[in-house]
Amino acid sequence: GAGVSQSPRYKVAKRGQDVALRCDPISGHVSLFWYQQALGQGPEFLTYFQNEAQLDKSGLPSDRFFAERPEGSVSTLKIQRTQQEDSAVYLCASSDGIGGYTFGSGTRLTVV
Amino acid sequence: GENVEQHPSTLSVQEGDSAVIKCTYSDSASNYFPWYKQELGKGPQLIIDIRSNVGEKKDQRIAVTLNKTAKHFSLHITETQPEDSAVYFCAATTNYNFNKFYFGSGTKLNVKP
């Protein structure tokens, strides 16, 4: 595609619900990153994939957060038993190894 | 790990004036410094970047300077226009393709017509 596509754009979850956020990177981009952006703050790193391999997951805040990219293309970020502090914008970015990151528009998650 | 600090948090300028945003970083191994512009409801968009082997880079009205010794870098926007109004983020990393970016906390720039 022309850009990084994320869905849904908005998600409201009741506390304790599981959610799944999808990222469709630019076709052919090897690297894929997930970031969490709290209101009024800069993005914070969650995890990184190179093709299907998750090479760095040091930013995942707890074992409730899980990410996968099984075929080296689309990625899903899953949050189990959501809590209010999980409310944030979740940004996905991809890279071809030359031109740096391209971010998607993000998924705004609100946990009520 | 790396710590990136950004100032000011808000900046208001008159159209046509210049705007300067400053960032400092802590890890001397950082060697790539991108700047992103984020408009409301959108993801960050890369506007300019600089690597540690150069001290300055310019692209039309936008320039970035880097002082490796002092570990700080700055974004300069000249002849500001209302469409420059957005939140700007600086970032630092040791390997721009295969590593995490550390972002500053952002500067909200308001250009008054």
pLDDT one-digit tens code per residue, A22-63: 999 999 999 999 999 999 999 999 999 999 999 999 999 999
Mean pLDDT value of segment B99-111: 94
Rounded-to-integer distance, Cα B65 and Cα B58, Å: 9
Query: Which of A5, A101, A108 best tests the B interface by mutation, with the highest count of B CBs <10 A?
Result: A101
Predicted confidence band at A99 (pLDDT cuts at 50, 70, 90)? low
Q: To the nearest whole angstrom, how far is the Cα of B108 from the nearest Cα of chain A? A: 9
Residue of chain B with shortest Cα separation from A5: B43
- On the question of pLDDT at A1 being above 90, the answer is no
Give the pLDDT confidence of A71-90 residue by residue, as tens digits. Answer: 999 999 999 999 999 999 99
Predicted confidence band at B96 (pLDDT cuts at 50, 70, 90)? low
- Per the rule left: phi > 0, alpha: psi between -120 and 50, beta: everything else, A52 is alpha
**Is residue B41 within 8 angstroms of chain A, CB to CB?**
yes
Residue of chain B with shortest Cα separation from A92: B43
Residue B108: what pLDDT?
98
**Is residue B46 within 8 angstroms of chain A, CB to CB?**
yes
Mean pLDDT value of segment B4-19: 98
Predicted confidence band at A101 (pLDDT cuts at 50, 70, 90)? confident
Query: Do residues A101 and B46 lie in contact, with contact meaning Cβ atoms separated by under 8 Å?
Result: yes
Other residues' Cβ atoms within 10 Å of the Cβ of residue B45: 14
**Is residue B27 within 8 angstroms of chain A, CB to CB?**
no
Mean pLDDT value of segment B37-49: 94
Q: To the nearest whole angstrom, how far is the Cα of B1 from the nearest Cα of chain A? A: 12
Query: Do residues A7 and A73 lie in contact, with contact meaning Cβ atoms separated by under 8 Å?
Result: no
Residue A93: what pLDDT?
96
Residue B1: what pLDDT?
81
**Is residue B96 within 8 angstroms of chain A, CB to CB?**
yes
Residue B97: what pLDDT?
60
Q: Measured between CB atoms, which of B6, B44, B100 is closest to A56?
A: B100
Q: Measured between CB atoms, which of A42, A58, A95 is closest to B89?
A: A42
Residue of chain B with shortest Cα separation from A46: B100
Q: What angle do CA A43, B27, B49 make, to 5 degrees?
A: 55
